[in-house]
Amino acid sequence: MPEIKVTPLGAGQDVGRSCILVSIGGKNIMLDCGMHMGYNDDRRFPDFSYITQNGRLTDFLDCVIISHFHLDHCGALPYMSEMVGYDGPIYMTHPTKAICPILLEDFRKITVDKKGETNFFTSQMIKDCMKKVIPLNLHQTVQGDYNMTPDRHLGAAWIDKCRPDILISESTYATTIRDSKRCRERDFLKKVHETIERGGKVLIPVFALGRAQELCILLETFWERMNLKAPIYFSTGLTEKANHYYKLFITWTNQKIRKTFVQRNMFEFKHIKAFDRSYADNPGPMVVFATPGMLHAGQSLQIFKKWAGNDKNMVIMPGYCVQGTIGHKILNGQRKLEMEGRSTLDVKLQVEYMSFSAHADAKGIMQLIRMAEPRNMLLVHGEAAKMEFLKGKIEQEFNCYMPANGETTAVTTNPSVPVDISLNLLKREMVLGGPLPDPKKPRTMHGTLIMKENLVSSEQALKELGLNEHQLRFTCRVQLQDPHSDSDTLHRIYTHLKSVLKDYTIQHLPDGTVMVESIVIKVSSSAEDANAKVLLLSWSYQDEDLGSYLSSLLKKGLPT
Amino acid sequence: MDSQCVSTLPRVCGVLLESGSSLPDDTSLEKLLDWFTTIAQTGASLLEACPCLVDFVSKVAFNHASGSSILSFTLKLTGLIGTSEDGFKVLKECSVLKLVFNPHHWQEAGLWGDPCLRIGWIQGLKMILQHSEALSFFAQEDLIEPLLQLQTDSSLFVASAANQTLAQVLLLCQSLSSVGHNCSKNRYLEHNSVSIETTQNYSGIITRVSEYLNKSVVLKEISQLPGCQQILRLLAMLLVQVGPPLRDTLLLAVMNSLEELVTTSCSQLTVPLMDVILAANSGLRDDFVPKQRLIRLLWVMLNMKKPAIVMQAAAAVLHSHHSDPTFSAHSARVLLLPLDIVTGVSLLDENSTEEELRILITEQLKRKSCISMICVCLSNIPQITLMASDHLPCPQRLIVTAVLMLLRLCCVDSSSSSAGCVEVVRFITGNSKVQKCALEALLVLSKSPGVKMVLVDVFKVLTEYLNSPSSDPSVLQKSYQAVIKWVGVCPDLSCITDQLREGFIQAVRKRACDTRWEARDSTVEFLGHLGGAPSCRSFTEQETEPSDVFLGGCSFTVPLLKEALQDPESYVRASSISALAQTLTPSWQEGAALTQEQEDIVTRLQEVLFQDSEGFARRAAVKYFIAWLSACSSPSSCWLLMQSVPTVLSQGVNDLDWEVKLHTLELAELLLDQAFPDPSPSHPYAVMSDQAHRLHIAGQQSDLLSSLKDLVDRGVVSALLCGVVDCDRPVALKACQLLLKLRGVVCPVMGNAADTRVFCQLAEGSVMQQVRKIQAMGKDTYVVSEACSEADKEGICASVDPERVGVCEVLRLLDLDEKLSILTQSSDHIYNSPLSLLQDILTAAAASSQPGRDLHQELVMDCY
């Protein structure tokens, strides 16, 4: 029996860097190549030496698939491709390919700034890595973070009932039912509003792109509704660029945004303005989104230092902070912080944590599993104890595994080979009164399966199967002003093309057409305007490029 | 160790004991262990530095309440303490050692199944295995058995750590045996730490390991495959690390099993098996009996009936740099066979011994799997080119010809047909994997001798690839790299005909407006590299720039790059700016007259600095001016450059991107260096009269004054003063260093003179606040806390006349030395300090234990 083997190199019973090796049908595929932001040394990247001794990853791996742009899923990619030397294909969606380098670049700048590190990937490496990425329309049916509640900018996850051999799912909130999204949003807005009302300033350190967008939409709408005047600022160009991409990939966002987009672009904010560092000293209330999200360097830390001493102000941490960062310290209640030069900073401002995490809760995970009905379930990206609990629940309905990092889970598969059924056979079955094929109720049908290994010419294949050939041709009408007779115009076209397309076969045929390769050009006069000519172009799909070129060439008119 | 850390550590240990399960942050324990390791590595006694650790370890060991991550941490910590003999004794005396490293103890507690605990056990064990006491303990407790069991553990991580620990055991046995052996000769055995009993222990361990290896190197059923692969990896590692006679013993023990394994012809075992054979073979004495058996094994592997195995075996031989040239030559022949068959280029002479392999490979090449076979062949060409020419089966020039032929066959638009295996063409045509491998090989082959004859062919093929509409962006990038590489190694480019040049120009023009940004960027990068390539000889025997030879020079390149400055993709915009700098550098060096085009470029670059939303482009723009200023032979006479510099400085230092700011400061540094070049050192014993000295000082003062005024006028001083208070540490650090440099040059000579004559305007910001505050308080060395209240600052600033300040006064007032010492320690020294870590663990544990204070605002409940 063929097997599917799954080995997590990261995210096996933990919420660190996601990196899962899947061996299937003789191919080795890596799902995600994430980074652990909590370490400053090599431990932040997956250790590839476990899967290949000689370090030549390209020989071993057939491809890498990145589920989404969060750094714990793609952060080690430039390290893998430019420093370890993997040179094979990397797949991700178009939006992921667009946003991934922004996050990588942002993290690189913060890392190099913070540590003065040189042993880290460079800007050039990020670019070279992105050049190797092949973008495609990838449905996130593989492991990746997902949310069953629609965000303000992204739709809820969905999956066909495709009954996969194995479904790999994250399990970050494996034992949790999260309070409703609306409650969390209301709570967030209430806190911001109260602070603004009492004349305080609100700092929101942001890191993950999705989070920043969602909070912006939320505040923008609230400001509009409440007619608030306090300014909202964005501190860097990071999210401006992200907004640009969100605008670009509007079709990937949720339906509500797409609908609103008809009236106005949700990502073009009226109340949110770019921040200048001198604004931090302005008196009066304001809300500032600043990077980095963990308050460990740069703009957000500088603003925090300025505002920390005032108890009217507030900082809202909307995401995870690694140990050692100011974000981590204040979230755990430290009120006296040691700063550079042995000075201390008294934290008097209010510290709030808001979970807007883009993960499904336990209910959501179960919902997705039931949608897909997998033969086997494998949990990753979660804490062991919580995973164990969820595994117990899942096992009441499905097989479930939760390998630790480095452990291999093997599931046997029953490969099904999809085949097309001929329309005639299907019609005959219907005439005989049998039920139509239904994946839920399999039944036997009699027919002949044609399998051909040898490559034959299309003419021979058509002959053998007794089928007629269908030609697909493109047509196009080009209107131009030419006060000559139809035949003269045609001749002028012939001469013009002869002079432009030197290496092509161009014929003036007696039937009143000009042919360039397979492209046929006819001329007819317009009924309304005697001087106007309508050129009819037609070409086969093989000559698509040339056909398009000719139509645009003729649109420009004929030389006088 | 910091006294605060000493007092905090016991509380942390208490928290770890109480918390039971893991901490909210899973990296804390690893970082704690890192800190302990650092203490141990400095030579200090860990137990003296942290006496509470033994108590902690005992409590965890005797109480199973802790979670697996705390247990794993404790096992590793025990190992770390036991690394020193003193620590080992203490642990032994309190019976912790026996308990902690007894696997039955953990099995009975039902914890052994957790890979996290097993990892802790192995790593702890590996750490203590540093001295004979530890080895005796290892032997007495019979820990070899569980360690051997873990060699093929279900977890890759556990198995790998177990492999390394076993190697550590054997290395320790080896080193202690040699000590014992030497000592027995000088009759002081009874006084030496290595007793007879211990020596017996070693031989017991070695015998057991040998038996185990012999038994494990088998493959009777497919389920044994993963285990067998792991054991072969272990064996290869042991054979590399241990020396004779232990190495010989192990080899003799596994020889029969290895011979049997080779006969299974299992392709998944080829690589690890070859690693073992080659590791065993290297450095083996010729008179050692298994040597001949090993050589036979090697021949068997290289003459298998399965082409995939033979190719992998041959590749392994070449990578191991095998000392016997017969094997290398044979391996090279094997690896070149697919290329010979596919292209029809006769790389190998007729050799009957390879005839069978040729037939087998030809058959294989008719299937889709031919791709991987051709790629193995191509990826090993670099190794083949390293071989001595007399062992090569053919001249390297022929290999180049074959690779070119293969590239033609792979190219969708090429009309070339193969004189070799025709069936393979349908699989490789348009296959970017093969194309990339072949282009990589071509890159390496550029160094081959006698390639001048194929130069035209190389450039023709590369032009075909650059022109082909079906070329993948990564293939295009590699093709460009190959062009640059070949240009670089061929000083004579007289072969570049007009037709070839036309082809290049057509390709580059087309790619510069490709719909894929990757292709456009590679093109622009290529133009930059070509512009920067060293000059060579053209057909007229004159020194010419390669970009002239290939593309007709700047008249083609510069407009194309100017166009790319407007590219929608920021990467391309940045690359085009860098490429322009590379292309224009020669004209800057020559001091050529400025063109309208260059003026347009400068205008555009200033727009980029002001308006571009992307850091890449803005960074490149500043670097352009750095390159210009560095290359320019006489900057002051270049009006455009000097006119642009103040704008670049003022805009760059206020950029959002800290790297743009840093590059701007590099530009300021260049100007600083040009204004104050290092004076030629006067002779130490030179005698100078008082009058001469006074005149000298006066002359110096006037020179300095004018240079300083220049710097102020160009905005260098303002940029530095702006940078020194930047929130991004690297920027502030660089600015601080440059201000110190300026102070070092100006202040000693000028005294207060400059203050009356050279002023600088301070921008509204914290430098002005700092200076005003210091002035107002009348103190010279006062560093203003950035956290001082706004009202405070406003009051100070209002009380002082906001006029300009003297440069020297500012330089003296800012306590630059103190600032530098703070900035030099990266901001990491706080966040990653041991005390910060200990405090974080304490507060995190306290926060998570507080009822009703759920940080994550989650409702944890039974949801089903």
User: CB A116 to CB B837 under 8 A?
Assistant: no
End-to-end CA distance of chain B: 51
Q: Tokens for B4? A: 């605060």
Cα separations in angstroms, B532 against B112, B256, B579: 62, 60, 9
10 Å CB burial of residue B226 (0-12, 13-18, 19+) is middle
Please tell me if residue B412 touches chain A, with a CB cutoff of 8 Å: no
Torsion of CA B755, B758, B763, B768, to 10 degrees: -10
Who among A116, A328, A338 is closest to B826 (CB)? A116
Residue B653's pLDDT band (cuts 50, 70, 90) = very high
Residue A95 has a pLDDT of 82
Separation between Cα atoms, residue B653 and residue A123, nearest integer Å: 20
Chain B positions touching A81 (Cβ under 8 A) are none
pLDDT tens by residue, B570-598: 999 999 999 999 999 988 988 888 889 99
pLDDT tens by residue, B239-266: 989 888 888 889 999 999 999 999 888 8
Residue with tokens 């642009």: B644
Q: Is the pLDDT of residue A157 over 70?
A: no
Residue A341 has a pLDDT of 62
Q: Is the pLDDT of residue B691 over 60?
A: yes
User: CB B614 to CB A237 under 8 A?
Assistant: yes
Residue A215 has a pLDDT of 80
Give the 3-state secondary structure of B455-517: HHHHHHHHHHHHHCCCCCHHHHHHHHHHHHHHHHHCCECCCCCHHHHHHHHHHHHHHHCCCCH
User: CB A324 to CB B832 under 8 A?
Assistant: yes
User: CB B21 to CB A363 under 8 A?
Assistant: no
Please tell me if residue A40 touches chain B, with a CB cutoff of 8 Å: yes
The alpha-carbon gap from B594 to the nearest alpha carbon of chain A, in Å, equals 31
Q: Is the pLDDT of residue B864 over 50?
A: no
Closest to A287 (Cα-Cα) out of A357, A328, A230: A230
Mean pLDDT comparison of A246-255, A453-462, B737-746, highest-scoring range: B737-746
Chain A positions touching B436 (Cβ under 8 A) are 87
Separation between Cα atoms, residue B451 and residue B444, nearest integer Å: 12
Residue B812 has a pLDDT of 82
Residue B645's pLDDT band (cuts 50, 70, 90) = very high
pLDDT tens by residue, A470-516: 878 888 898 888 888 888 999 999 999 998 888 888 999 988 899 99
Q: Is the pLDDT of residue B118 over 60?
A: yes
Q: Is the pLDDT of residue B275 over 80?
A: yes
How many alpha carbons fall within 13 Å on the CB side of residue B46?
A: 26
Contact A345, A305 (CB under 8 A): yes
Please tell me if residue A68 touches chain B, with a CB cutoff of 8 Å: no
Q: Is the pLDDT of residue A119 over 80?
A: no
Mutate to test the interface with B, among A15, A57, A340, A502 (most CBs of B within 10 A): A340
Residue B451 has a pLDDT of 81
- Domains of chain A are 3-143+159-170+361-412 (3.60.15.10), 181-353 (3.40.50.10890), 420-435+443-465 (no CATH), 473-556 (3.30.310)
pLDDT tens by residue, B418-465: 667 778 888 898 899 999 999 999 999 998 887 888 888 999 999 999
User: CB A50 to CB B275 under 8 A?
Assistant: no
Residue B746's pLDDT band (cuts 50, 70, 90) = confident
Separation between Cα atoms, residue B620 and residue B608, nearest integer Å: 10
Residue A274's pLDDT band (cuts 50, 70, 90) = confident
Contact A310, A196 (CB under 8 A): no
User: CB A328 to CB B25 under 8 A?
Assistant: yes
User: CB B426 to CB A332 under 8 A?
Assistant: no
Mutate to test the interface with A, among B422, B616, B863 (most CBs of A within 10 A): B863
Mean pLDDT of all residues in chain B? 83
User: CB B764 to CB A455 under 8 A?
Assistant: no
Mean pLDDT within B621-632: 95
Contact B30, B67 (CB under 8 A): no
Write the DSSP string, A110-144.
HHHHHH---SS--HHHHHHHHHTEEE----TTSS-
Chain A residue at shortest CA distance from B517: A131
User: CB B844 to CB A306 under 8 A?
Assistant: no
Amino acid at B310: V
Residue B614 has a pLDDT of 82
DSSP A80: I
User: CB B426 to CB A455 under 8 A?
Assistant: yes
The β-bridge relationship of strands A376-380 and A166-170 is parallel
Q: Is the pLDDT of residue B863 over 50?
A: no
Closest to B232 (Cα-Cα) out of B199, B196, B271, B201: B271
Separation between Cα atoms, residue B573 and residue B16, nearest integer Å: 53
Amino acid at B131: H
Who among A123, A237, A283 is closest to B613 (CB)? A237
SS3 B537: strand
Residue with tokens 């705390």: B70
Q: Which of B216-220, B340-344, B525-529 has the lowest mean pLDDT?
A: B216-220
Q: Which of B67-71, B316-320, B490-494, B842-846 has the lowest mean pLDDT?
A: B490-494
The model's pTM is: 0.81
What values do phi and psi take at B147, rounded to 5?
-65, -40
End-to-end CA distance of chain A: 73
Chain A positions touching B837 (Cβ under 8 A) are 323-324
Interface of B with A in 767-786 (CB under 8 A): 783, 785-786
A415-426: burial string, b at 16+ Cβ within 10 Å, e else: eeeeeeeeeeee
pLDDT tens by residue, B345-386: 888 877 656 788 898 999 888 888 899 999 999 999 999 998
Residue A98 has a pLDDT of 86
User: CB A40 to CB B522 under 8 A?
Assistant: no
Residue B422 has a pLDDT of 77
Which contacts of B595-601 are long-range, i.e. CB under 8 A and separated by 24 or more positions? B597/B558, B597/B559, B597/B562, B598/B640, B599/B640, B600/B562, B601/B558, B601/B562, B601/B565
Q: Is the pLDDT of residue B754 over 80?
A: no
User: CB B27 to CB A323 under 8 A?
Assistant: yes
Interface of B with A in 178-217 (CB under 8 A): none
Q: How many CB pairs under 8 A join A and B?
A: 197
The alpha-carbon gap from B857 to the nearest alpha carbon of chain A, in Å, equals 7
pLDDT tens by residue, A275-284: 877 788 889 9
Q: Which helix (H) or strand (E) holds A515?
A: strand A513-516
Who among B839, B857, B858 is closest to A334 (CB)? B839
Residue A187's pLDDT band (cuts 50, 70, 90) = confident
Residue B793 has a pLDDT of 42
Residue B197's pLDDT band (cuts 50, 70, 90) = low
Q: Is the pLDDT of residue A384 over 90?
A: no
Q: Tokens for A44? A: 């932040």
What lies within 8 Å, CB to CB, of A550 at 6+ separation is A497, A516, A519, A521, A537, A539
The alpha-carbon gap from B156 to the nearest alpha carbon of chain A, in Å, equals 5
What lies within 8 Å, CB to CB, of B39 at 6+ separation is B1, B46, B49, B50
Chain B residue at shortest CA distance from A239: B613
Chain B positions touching A14 (Cβ under 8 A) are 26
Q: Is the pLDDT of residue A4 over 80?
A: yes
Residue A342 has a pLDDT of 67
Residue B232 has a pLDDT of 94
Cα separations in angstroms, A478 against A532, A552, B275, B722: 10, 9, 68, 61
Mean pLDDT within B617-640: 91
Residue B751 has a pLDDT of 62
Would you please indicate which residues of A are annotated as catalytic (active-site) residues?
A: 170
Amino acid at B370: C
Q: Is the pLDDT of residue B44 over 90?
A: no
Residue A139 has a pLDDT of 54
Contact B615, B621 (CB under 8 A): no
Who among B786, B828, B858 is closest to A115 (CB)? B828
N residues, chain A: 560
Write the DSSP string, A430-491.
HHTTPPPPBTTB------------S---HHHHHHHHT------EEEEEEEEE--S-HHHHHH
Q: Tokens for A115? A: 């540590």
DSSP A375: S
Chain B residue at shortest CA distance from A106: B657
Residue A124 has a pLDDT of 93
